Amino acid sequence: MTVPQFFFILFALITLLSGLRCVTTRNLFHAALYLVISLFGVAALFAILEAGFLALAQLIVYVGAIAILIIFAVMLTRGIVQPSGTQLNSQAGLAAVVSGALLFILLRVLPGFNYPATEAAVPADLTKKLGESLVNEYVLPFEVASVLLLAALVGAIYIARERSKKTAGED
């Protein structure tokens, strides 16, 4: 096993375990922190695979913006310290069955997949074309996502203010 393979496996395990903890933890703030660790792991995997542009985009967009926005939104809501309710809902059994079926299908299909034996040549101006397509073609989805996240943050602030006004008026 080479050094890059070792680090790839290490960061893949960190990413998978933090993603698993993100969806299984009861504390909402801890789940957001596990999400940040998972996103850092994905950025590290991109860096190991020599996709520097994607690694930096992962760090700037997801870790730097979206994850921090989610953490602020979580911190603005009340009741995150003491989680209430059950961990599993009525769809947990169905989710387990669907996940198991998907795992079974993937374990059957992936070994028969014909992986390329040689590396394909990467065009010299690939980063330039990617940047131009992000600015020219895919700017609308990014703007829609940013407006949606802004609306979620404003909604969290509004909910937090309503509760604080009610508790201040009751005292």
For each of the domains in the chain, give its residue range(s) and CATH number, in order of start.
3-81+126-170 (1.20.120.1200)
pLDDT at 84 (0 to 100): 60
The mean pLDDT of 52-78, rounded to a whole number, is 81
Q: How far apart are CA 50 and CA 122, in angstroms?
A: 12
pLDDT at 85 (0 to 100): 60
The mean pLDDT of 154-161, rounded to a whole number, is 78
* pLDDT of residue 12 exceeding 90: yes
The mean pLDDT of 152-161, rounded to a whole number, is 79
Q: How far apart are CA 59 and CA 73, in angstroms?
A: 19
The mean pLDDT of 58-62, rounded to a whole number, is 86
DSSP state of 123: P
pLDDT at 86 (0 to 100): 61
Kindly report, residue by residue over 87-128, the tens digit of the pLDDT: 567 887 898 899 999 999 999 988 887 776 677 777 788 888
To the nearest 10°, report the CA torsion of 21, 23, 25, 27.
Answer: 130
Q: What does the radius of gyration of the chain's CA atoms come to, in whole angstroms?
A: 21
- Is 53 in contact with 130 (CB distance < 8 Å)? yes
The fraction of the chain above a pLDDT of 70, given in percent, is 85
pLDDT at 154 (0 to 100): 84
Q: What is the mean pLDDT of the chain?
A: 82
Please state which of the ranges 25-29, 55-59, 136-140, 159-163 shows the lowest mean pLDDT. Answer: 159-163
